[in-house]
Amino acid sequence: MTQRDWIEKDFYRELGVASSASADEIKKAYRKLARELHPDANPGDARAEARFKAVSEAYGVLSDEKKRREYDETKALFGSGGGFRGGQGFPGGFGAGGGAQGFDLNDLFGRAGAGAGGGGLGDLFGDILGGRGAGAGRSAGARTAQRGADIENEVRIGFVDAVRGAEVQLRLAGPARCQRCAGTGARPGSTPRTCPTCAGVGLVSRSQGAFAFSEPCQDCRGTGRLIDDPCPECQGEGVTTQVRKLTVRVPAGVTDGQQIRIKGKGEPGPTGGPAGDLLLRVHVEPHRLFGRSERNPDDLTLTVPVTFPELVLGTTITVPTLDSTVSLKIPPGTASGRTFRVPGRGVQKRSGAPGNLLVTVEVAVPSRLDDAAVTALQSYAEATKAHDPRADLLGGAR
């Protein structure tokens, strides 16, 4: 994406949000539009695909705090029509008498278009007042390739997969590195060459009255490279819109709502630049029996029903784990609601100590009893009537 693209396009309008929108509002608007316009939801609809690409492009800029700030600065400086706004954006300003208020965008960027977007106004103009030439502070021929944008996606996995870790299959629609030219932009068998005009830096120096400007090289459009034989698949851009199938490893112990970063699986950088990252939001489905401890997510929780006699007299019960079963000893006089710890039966990570299984025992009160059980329970009540469990409670209320 070029600086000219930033000036000519209204990314806020693409997403249907105000320029003052928060990051959450921008994300919410993008997700809604992405679901509606996704190629899988609109097979064969070229207009929806083009709109999806435009929305993804807008979100790629506005979701990045640095790129959004640079985009806002560029729009404030040039406006929507591409004309330079005098007196704005530069130290000291260019007033009506400064001779720059009618400065035309084409005079600044050249008819061939601007350099790659995202470099900021400092890269765009260089040192305006200092008058340094192109590539000041850079090494000729060593222009840093621009990194691609990060992308966000969501995945839903089962509870057991979240605890143990799992590989999930994703389908990502959007910009991807051209497979035919491997992102170089050149037809297979040919190689881009260093631009002789700017020596690969992407910027050249020109004078405007008393000022010296560093501006994107017109010959290479600020990329520092010339492609004599463009790739027919991507027309020299190195990027095409594709639906990618991706296998991602979700690590053991991931929690519901957690975001994991997969390096280098985001949008590819222009002209062969490094790819951004994939930010994957994980939603974990609940389990019928097990849960995760709020204090330590590596500990699993389990509630086990027991009878009153088992708590009073003590017993050994068998409880399930994610892998098999274990025996748990209940000592005599155990209170309902007590939690026992079974070491090493929680989340098993590649490094660090494994989590535990926290088993809470709760007395199960039968809804109905037969005559024999009622008689036995009445006998028990008579035998223990001297014990009043509410004696301290009632005494403390007086």
pLDDT at 208: 65
Task: Report pLDDT digits (tens) over 61-112.
Answer: 898 888 888 888 777 766 554 444 444 444 334 433 344 334 444 444 443 3
Domain spans, the chain:
1-89, 290-384
Cα angle at 143 between 93 and 218, to 5 degrees? Answer: 60
Half-sphere exposure of 257 (CA within 13 A, CB side): 1
Q: What are the distances in angstroms from CA 191 to CA 27, 79, 127, 282?
A: 39, 37, 33, 41
Helix axes of 46-62 and 65-78: crossing angle, nearest 10 degrees: 100
Question: Nearest-CA neighbor of 125 among 95, 84, 64?
Answer: 84
What CATH code is assigned to 1-89? 1.10.287.110
Task: Report pLDDT digits (tens) over 189-228.
Answer: 888 899 998 888 888 887 766 666 777 888 887 778 888 8
Given a cut of 60, whether residue 355 has pLDDT beyond it is yes
State the Cα–Cα distance between residues 184 and 237, nearest whole angstrom. Answer: 8
Cα angle at 22 between 19 and 23, to 5 degrees? Answer: 110
For residue 126, what are its two tokens?
A: 């260089």
The residue with greater pLDDT, 53 or 344, is 344
Half-sphere exposure of 334 (CA within 13 A, CB side): 25
Average pLDDT over residues 174-186: 84
Q: What are the distances in angstroms from CA 292 to CA 283, 289, 346, 370?
A: 14, 11, 9, 38
Task: Report pLDDT digits (tens) over 13-60.
Answer: 889 998 888 998 998 999 889 888 887 788 888 888 888 888 888 888
DSSP string, 282-321: EEEPPPSSEEE-SS-TTSEEEEEEE-HHHHHH-EEEEEE-
Q: What is the pTM of this model?
A: 0.56
State the Cα–Cα distance between residues 357 and 57, nearest whole angstrom. Answer: 46
Using an 8 Å Cβ cutoff, are 159 and 285 in contact?
yes
**Record: fold of 290-384:** HSP40/DNAj peptide-binding domain (2.60.260)
